[in-house]
Amino acid sequence: MKILVTGGCGFIGSNLVRYLLEEAGEGVEKIVNLDLLTYAGNPANLSDLENRDDYTFVQGDIGDTELVPRLLKEHEVDLVMNLAAESHVDRSIDSPEPFIQTNVTGTLRLLEAARHHVAERSGEAKDRFRFQHISTDEVYGSLDRDEPAFTEKTPFAPNSPYAASKASADFLVRAYHHTFGLATLTTNCSNNYGSFHFPEKLIPLIILNALEGRPLPIYGDGSNIRDWLYVGDHCRALWLVATRGRPGETYNIGGDSERTNIDIVRTICRLLDERRPRPGKGYESLIEFVKDRPGHDQRYAVDFSKLNAELGWSPTQTLESGLEKTVDWYLEHLDWCRDITNNNYQRQRLGTTP
Ligand code: NAD
Ligand code: TDX
């Protein structure tokens, strides 16, 4: 397969590109990574792959109606894996428009380009084409403590501008399958964590703040629950769905690891206490309960029994094993973290000196 990955310089995208090139096996012929390099895109995440013949990076927008059709044609793309997005809920509350631009309009333009690309193919090449859209459990809204986990049949009820933009894109993908017969696959996953996670999100933010002795901010009372999915398990699921999923279907991907935010933060503190003890008090003393996120969803939980039954997938990491790996990765990559916190990663790609 010749694959166009969008958003490949982000957190999940860079893990996915690495997985496809190093672990997925023979099915992967080449990868084109199309990424606009917003604040969340960091080419350093993949700098070690730059010289490979089977990997090409292109800086550009999924909404570019000249560039995207050209890339699909030139690289004879068989599979689009669409991860490009504005992904941070808090930013969508401060400024929703970029979320509509990339997540909705951008996805629409990518779908249009894919539809025309397929129309120009014939025979096996036409049949082989797939458009995979990577979405979120947040489209389903929020659960009470004792409600059953989201299934693929749970009605959409997005609560943040981010979630609404992702739900809109999911509906467009559905419509392109139904109306135009495009061979789409949609996956809705829970909260990912692991290496290269941008430190605006809870887990990397807590690790880095703790190491710098800064406060560990917990929104509200810390009782909100997320279902944590190790990014490596997610990438494996994405490739399974891309190669063996049924076109037109959606698949939920969950981590089987529901935890409250306060539990997550305390576990990170304990792991850091063991690895980098602070003089005086332990890391938990840095915890601060702060003003809640507006409209903060109480609980996400994902039922992935369809993916398990059809394709035999289940997560391999427990939250404990995955968090250990993650904390160790951050401790071993403090330079990567520093380049982000002091903005060097953006200066470097603009060609300016710090
Ligand atoms: P991220 O914010 O780390 O990365 C997004 C990437 O997309 C960045 O490299 C950015 O430069 C790029 N990008 C943004 N706008 C673009 C555009 N217009 N054209 C091309 N590239 C653009 O996000 P992530 O956490 O890696 O998430 C990847 C996908 O998975 C997103 O679609 C997100 O909604 C979805 N998702 C993420 C999670 C999670 O926990 N991180 C959970 C569920 C779903
Ligand atoms: O400083 C913080 N303090 C805090 O208590 C931050 C950044 C977050 N939180 C809470 C809010 C959430 O309940 O932690 C939880 C996780 O927050 P985020 O890491 O911002 O993730 P979330 O809002 O759950 O969304 C994530 O998972 C679903 C991704 O960012 C989305 O892209 C994905 O779709």
Give the pLDDT band (50/70/90) at residue 113: very high
Residue 94 resides in a domain: yes
Is the Cβ atom of 138 under 6 angstroms away from ligand 1?
no
Domain that residue 33 falls in: 2-197+228-257+300-317
Residue 287 resides in a domain: no
CATH number at residue 38: 3.40.50.720
Give the mean model confidence (pLDDT) for residues 308-333: 98
Whether 129 and 79 have beta carbons less than 8 Å apart is answered as yes
Give the pLDDT band (50/70/90) at residue 347: low
CA of 191 to the centre of ligand 2 (A): 8
Is the Cβ atom of 86 under 6 angstroms away from ligand 2?
no
Find tokens 């290269």 and name the residue. Answer: 196
Residue 8 resides in a domain: yes
Q: Which residue out of 78, 86, 138, 297 is catalytically annotated?
A: 138
CA of 282 to the centre of ligand 2 (A): 24
Each residue of 163-202: pLDDT tens digit? Answer: 999 999 999 999 999 999 999 999 999 999 999 999 999 9
Give the mean model confidence (pLDDT) for residues 240-269: 98
> Quick one: pLDDT at residue 30?
97
> Quick one: pLDDT at residue 25?
85
What are 29's two structure tokens? 């012929």
Tell me the whole-structure pTM to 2 decimals.
Answer: 0.97
> Quick one: pLDDT at residue 26?
86
CA of 281 to the centre of ligand 1 (A): 37
> Quick one: pLDDT at residue 354?
34
CA of 224 to the centre of ligand 2 (A): 10
Q: Does the pLDDT value for residue 285 go beyond 80? A: yes
> Quick one: pLDDT at residue 344?
73
Nearest to 173 by CA among 284, 260, 251, 285: 251
Give the pLDDT band (50/70/90) at residue 352: very low
Nearest atom (ligand 2) to Cα of 85: 32
Active site residue 330: no
> Quick one: pLDDT at residue 342?
83
Residue 278 resides in a domain: no
Average pLDDT of the chain is: 96
Give the pLDDT band (50/70/90) at residue 136: very high
Is the Cβ atom of 63 under 6 angstroms away from ligand 1?
yes
Q: Does the pLDDT value for residue 303 go beyond 60? A: yes
Give the pLDDT band (50/70/90) at residue 348: low
Residue 125 resides in a domain: yes
Each residue of 64-103: pLDDT tens digit? Answer: 999 999 999 999 999 999 999 999 999 999 999 999 999 9
| One-letter-per-residue 3-state SS of 49-88 | HCCCCCEEEEECCCCCCCHHHHHHHHCCCCEEEECCCCCC
Beta strands in 197-341 (DSSP E): 216-219, 225-227, 229-230, 250-253, 258-260, 287-290
Residue 277 resides in a domain: no
Active site residue 345: no
Distance from CA of residue 188 to its chain's centroid? 10
Active site residue 335: no
- Beta bridge mates, 180: none
Is the Cβ atom of 217 under 6 angstroms away from ligand 2?
yes
- Total number of domains in the chain: 1
> Quick one: pLDDT at residue 353?
39
Whether 230 and 317 have beta carbons less than 8 Å apart is answered as yes
Residue 205 resides in a domain: no
Residue 294 resides in a domain: no
